[in-house]
Structure 1
Amino acid sequence: MTRQPDHPTSPARRNLFRLATAGAMSTAAAVAVSGSAWARPGVPASPSGTPFVEKDTLVVNVLDHGATGDGSTDDTQALQAALDAGRGRTVYIPPGVYLVSTMLSVFSGTTVLATATSVVRRTDGPSILGNGVLGDMTATKFDGESNIVIQGGVWDVNARNVARNANAFSFSHGRNIRVYDVRVLDVQGWHAMELNAVETVRVANSRFEGFSDPAGNRQYSEAVHMDYAGGAGHFTLFGAPDFYGCKDIEVIGCYSGPSADFPSYPRLVGSHGGPDGHQHTGLRVISNYADQCSEWAIRLYDWLDGVVEGNQIADGGGGIQIGPAGVQTGGNIVVRGNTLRKLTGVQEADGRPPDAAICIGRLNNSRTHRLTVTGNIVEDVDMEGIAVYRTDGAVVSANVVEDCAGVGIRVNDAPRAVVTSNSIRRTGREGVVVHAGSNGALVSGNLTEDTGAYGMSITNAVEDVVVRDNILLGSGTADGTVAALRVSNNANRVTLAGNTVRRRDSGAHAEYGISITSTCTGTWYTGNDLRDSGATAAVSDQGSDSSTDPAGLS
């Protein structure tokens, strides 16, 4: 892999600068390359012959502790000896291939620094590196090994040759952990990174390539996984099962995709839920690229306070799914500026069609509140575009949904939802659906064009929905659509005002511009531009107590 130069202000450059500066200020020869350093008697050179970082009071070189990096020697003990000696310092892994046969333990205050050609390759064990000791269950809350930096290196979980599930990194019961510029290869079954009961973690500018699932039962595994310390069935390598969740997590600028030997991860980022009182809080998933993820690329389960922004999701299964765990509500979530394209869908339940590319609140019967879905692009997906279920006070605005197989935007059991300023074109079904329980919703300023069924459907016992100032062009491209704007199935006190409806010049048409069925009561429709809106007539009103009086109903 060819690495692009780091930006001058990137974490990588800043860390290296600090390291070099600190070394230069020490009495030793510092963190500079020394022609004589690698030739010292009794100290092996790196396999490539590249000079390694000079040993001093700030830096521990793994070669000084007997590591060979020759790709054939088990370097586990030597690497662990360096990590033991490097507590509170920097442990440097020079270029080479280092084999490890069990999990390495890194301790508080340690920075592990590797190059782009330093490969740590697993030959056995449940993880390559963790902030604890296997089997030590004493750490609680966020009070375990903390203040750790992992920067650079290729961390090869080696699914090609090791038939055992494992993580690359396992972090639990700690805080202030930074992982920069790593490349993780070929994980089997588990995760590139397990974050379990941790606080303040940054994962940046890293690549996660290749996932193996030989048993066929890990179709939900994530590259970056967040969980609570729930014991059996969750994380059991080290740390107490005290049910703590995660807090203040950021995943930024990362990539998930296939390797030379294996396909991409099912998910780039995802979480498990916790019991009441131990909710995950404070998550940012920003500017990542999910390439060919077979399941939900980003799935946030049981989060309070989250931002999913600027991610690119392409050529996979699902897009973004957010929902509570069933015991406590989730909320304060922003889904903004993401692009999703060429997705085939994920079927969450037997007999149910694939969920929407951006799907909120459909995981179970718990509710989500205070949600914004704005400025996203959903294109060429074999499912619905955006769906919001069981959510209070959602705002769905300024999104572009084109060429989706199902409904463009759906709100279901989402009272006071605001659906505004969206552009929806060429959908297989309706452009916008406001469904049962979405009382008091506002649908305003949207454009729907060439929708397979109704341009907009207000249905299933909703009340006090306002639909105004929308433009509906070419509704009913599939045969048999009744109307461009449809009010049906006991929808009561619906307002339709200031909408512009036009039928297509040729091909299939909606029969009416507006259709109100006989089970609906108190529809007020006024000020709509219905010229050339329906193949049969502008309006079909079978409802009771309807009004077209500009003064409205009283």
Structure 2
Amino acid sequence: MVKLLNGASVGANGKAIGQAHLPFFNIRDYGAVGNGTTNDIVAIQAAHDACTAAGGGIVWYPGGFTYVVNTFIAMGANNTVYAYGATIKAIGNTGLVRNFLGTDNFTLYNGKSNVTILGGTWDGNAGDGTNNTTTGTTNVMGFIHAKNITLRDVTVKNVSSAHGVEFNAVDGATVDNCRFLGFRDNSGNNSRQFSEAIQIDIAVSGSSSIPAFDNTPCKNIFVTNCYMGASETNGVFGKLAGSHTTVSGVVYENINILNSRCDGALDIGIRALAWQNSSIKGNTIKSATGYAITVESFDSTGIKSVRVLDNKIENGSSGGIQGVGSSTAWLQDLLVEANEIYGCSGAGISIVGSQYPVIFGNAIRSNGSTGIFLNGGFAGVIEANRTFNTGSNAVNVNNQASVLIQGNHLSSPAANYNINIESTTDVFITGNYLYLPVNNRACINFTVSCNNCTAIANRLRLGANSAYAVRSNATNGQNNYFINNDCKGFGNTAIYYGSSGQTSGFVWNTGSSGTPNGTVLLTWTNTANTGSNIV
């Protein structure tokens, strides 16, 4: 006996038992052979048409067989497929499943809805046309203008140039415990390297297969416990999941990529383009060509409240996590928390064009560039992060006013500074442990028009003999203060004060002796300590 949906089961005679109110359709009763060579499209379509005419039910693809079809299976509303143990394979030059006909026309989320696919290996049969039939650009599964689509325990493999699954103008989709194996770019010029295993799309001409092209976006999408990698015959997709189509003023809402794994990506592991109120959590992304995770606004349309949490990122050819906004399309309230980023060639976390970002509790090590980069926005918190052996600055804040840098452990940058502050105002640096700056560099560096910045109560420890605790070379910088920091071991080289036009103070810094380097007049914050720091 095989268990079905809602308590229904299949007995030895292939008939449904229990839950009699759910109609049941066995594709073999409609003539499907399942021998791997006979085209079963007519039989399978007849079973689905009967299911749809009955108002919905269960269409059973008995396991242990390979059913081949030469065109798409059109699933109607309220169709539930049970295909555990079965293989469904393309032998034409199209994909396998759609919830629409080419003549359909739907608006908003008013198309054929409540479609569920449980189990099965859905093989798109992509190749060069010699041993495999599919060479065109085609999705294996596509769902458009619909509500409530569920894929569970499904394997989608060998996709030609497009997507394993496309959700276009869909409200409410779940992809759970599914595997996406094998992608082939048959474009001839590598122009499809961006293709997602799971595409989250919007109804516009050129992106949606049928009208209406009414700019309806996807929303309420959940991808959980999924896997993307190579198949026996084809390589990896461009992305595990993402979007690459936008319309000005329209955003995707409540998109969630959770607890999934991406082994390799020709482009970006997960691309959250125009996603709002969304989460990317608990994923493992290895060896992506681009950034492992990218969150992007676009055009003049900002986005808010995206959470990037508890992901593990390894050995990317670019960086770890990237946020991309602008002064006309801000990233607002972006949270990047508790991610582990190891061995990426670029920056660990790079966020540009953001307002009120929070970068909290991340671990970054052995990456080839900056650990955490924050640039071109307003406000933000960088707290409780750990970096080790970054290729450049452990933390770099550039042109981002009103930033708190607190409680971080930043160790052993291979070049430049533990903390670098450039062309910005109102940065407060406190409670950090900064260790082993390199030759002629410093734990904390103020440079190029830094104003109203304060470093207080930090612990700084010497690296190279010619390194500094703090380097204030901020041309035209005003009112920058270095107060009550622990600089034991630096001695006379603790403070470098190198540019004219500054007014700054260095007071009550334990372990720092002598007058700072440079000849400019210093303005001290404590007259009892004029001219030197406390040893």
TM-score (norm 2): 0.88
Q: Distance in 2 between matches of 1:181 and 1:521?
A: 61
With over 3 angstroms needed to count, the CA separation of the structure-2 counterparts of 1:379 and 1:537, relative to structure 1, is same
1:322 to 270, 295, 300: 295
Counterpart of 2:476 in structure 1: which amino acid?
T
SS of residue in 1 equivalent to 2:489? coil
Distance 1:405 1:431 in 2: 11
Q: Residue 294 in 1 paired to residue 266 in 2?
A: yes
Q: Match of 1:427, SS?
A: coil
Aligned to 1:547: 505
Q: Give 2:143's aligned residue.
A: 171
Match among 368, 374, 379 for residue 411 of structure 1:
374
Instruction: Please state how far the C-alpha of 1:115 moved relative to its aligned partner.
Output: 1.3
Match of 1:466 among 428, 438, 447: 428
Q: Distance in 2 between matches of 1:541 and 1:525?
A: 15
- Unaligned runs of at least 5 residues, structure 2: 509-523, 527-535
Residue 33 (str. 1) matches residue 11 (str. 2) = yes
**CA 227–454 in structure 1, closer or farther in 2 if over 3 Å, else same:** same
> Separation in 1 of the partners of 2:34 and 2:73?
15
The residue type paired with residue 231 of structure 1 is S
Question: What is the rounded CA distance, in whole Å, between the counterparts of 2:260 and 2:491 in structure 1?
Answer: 45
Whether the 8 Å CA contact 2:430–2:457 is kept in 1: the answer is yes
The reply to whether residue 110 of structure 1 matches residue 84 of structure 2 is no
- Opposite residue 495 of structure 2, the aligned amino acid is A
1:449: which partner in 2?
411
CA distance in 2, matches of 1:287, 1:364: 33
The equivalent position to 1:259 in structure 2, one of 226, 231, 240, is 231
Matched to 1:411, the amino acid is: L
* 1:17-416 matches, cutoff 5 A: 18-19=5-6, 21-22=7-8, 31-34=9-12, 37=13, 58-87=23-52, 88-95=56-63, 96-116=65-85, 118-136=86-104, 138-160=105-127, 161=132, 162-214=134-186, 215=188, 216-232=190-206, 234-236=207-209, 238-317=210-289, 318-345=291-318, 356-361=319-324, 366-416=329-379
Indicate how the Cα distance of structure 1 residues 500 and 193 shifts in structure 2: closer, same or farther if over 3 A, else same: same
Cα RMSD (Å) of the superposition? 2.2
Kindly indicate whether the alpha-carbon contact (under 8 Å) linking 1:483 and 1:510 is maintained by their aligned counterparts in 2.
Answer: no
Deviation digits for residues 410-469 of structure 1, max 9, x if unmatched? Answer: 100131110000001001100000111x1000111111111022010000x211111111
Q: Distance in 1 between matches of 2:417 and 2:492?
A: 14
CA contact (8 A) 1:273 1:279 kept: no
2:388 maps to 425
Shift of residue 281, structure 1, vs aligned partner: 0.5
State the distance in 2 between where 1:16 and 1:173 align: 31
Contact map agreement 2:314 2:344 (CA 8 A) in 1: yes
Paired with 2:327 and 2:125, the residues of 1 have a C-alpha distance of 36
Q: CA deviation at 1:314?
A: 1.1
Question: Could you tell me whether the CA contact under 8 Å between 2:4 and 2:10 is conserved in 1?
Answer: no
Q: Look up the SS of the partner of 1:140 in the other structure.
A: coil
Residue in structure 2 matched with residue 497 of structure 1 by the alignment: 456
Report how far residue 17 of structure 1 moved: 5.6
Deviation at 1:264, TM superposition (A): 1.2
Q: Which residue does 2:516 correspond to in 1?
A: none
Within the alignment, does 1:484 sit opposite 2:443 as a pair? yes
> 1:80 aligns to what SS in structure 2?
helix
Q: Is the 8 A contact 1:512 1:534 kept in 2?
A: no
Structure 2 CA distance for aligned equivalents of residues 107 and 277 of structure 1: 32
Aligned-partner residue type, residue 106 of structure 1 = M
SS of the residue corresponding to residue 223 of structure 1 reads strand
Cα distance between partner residues in 1 of 2:361 and 2:117: 39
Contact 2:196–2:237 (Cα < 8 Å) also in 1: yes
Say if 1:392 and 1:414, in contact at 8 Å, map to a contact too: yes
Structure 1 position 362, deviation (Å): 5.4
CA contact (8 A) 2:393 2:417 kept: yes
| TM-score between both structures, scaled by the size of structure 1 | 0.85
1:515 counterpart residue number:
471
After TM superposition, give the deviation of residue 509 of structure 1 in Å: 5.2
Instruction: Rate the CA distance shift 1:509–1:539 in 2: closer, same or farther, 3 A.
Output: same
Q: Secondary structure at the match of 1:404?
A: coil
The letter of the residue matching 1:79 is I
Shift of 1:404: 0.4
Offset at residue 86 of structure 1 (A): 1.1
Q: CA deviation at 1:522?
A: 1.1
Aligned to 1:530: 487
Amino acid at match of 1:102: T
Describe the shift of the 1:534–1:178 C-alpha distance in structure 2 as closer, same or farther (beyond 3 A).
farther
Determine if contact 1:420/1:443 at 8 Å carries over to the other structure. Answer: yes
CA distance in 2, matches of 1:509, 1:375: 34
CA gap 1:102/1:457 in 2 versus in 1, 3 angstroms: same
2:529 counterpart residue number: none
Deviation, structure 1 residue 510: 5.4
CA contact (8 A) 2:249 2:300 kept: no
In structure 2, the residue matched to 1:49 is: none
**SS of the residue 2:162 aligns to:** coil
CA distance in 1, matches of 2:303, 2:491: 43
Secondary structure class of the residue paired with 2:194? coil
Q: Secondary structure at the match of 1:276?
A: coil
**Post-superposition CA distance 1:320-364 (Å, at most 9, x none):** 00011223111101100000011111xxxxxxxxxx310001599
Task: Please give the alpha-carbon distance, in whole angstroms, between the structure 2 residues aligned to 1:524 and 1:364.
Answer: 29
1:280-308 Cα offsets, whole Å, 9 max, x none, are: 10111100000112221100100110111
Query: Helix, strand or coil: the match of 1:314?
Result: strand
Q: Deviations over 1:453-498 (max 9, x none)?
A: 2010000x2111111111110012xx5x432210001111111111
SS of the residue 2:505 aligns to:
coil
CA contact (8 A) 2:244 2:273 kept: yes
The residue type paired with residue 538 of structure 1 is I
Q: Is the CA contact (8 Å cut-off) linking 1:103 and 1:134 kept in structure 2? A: no
Query: 2:386 & 2:223 partners in 1: Cα distance?
Result: 29
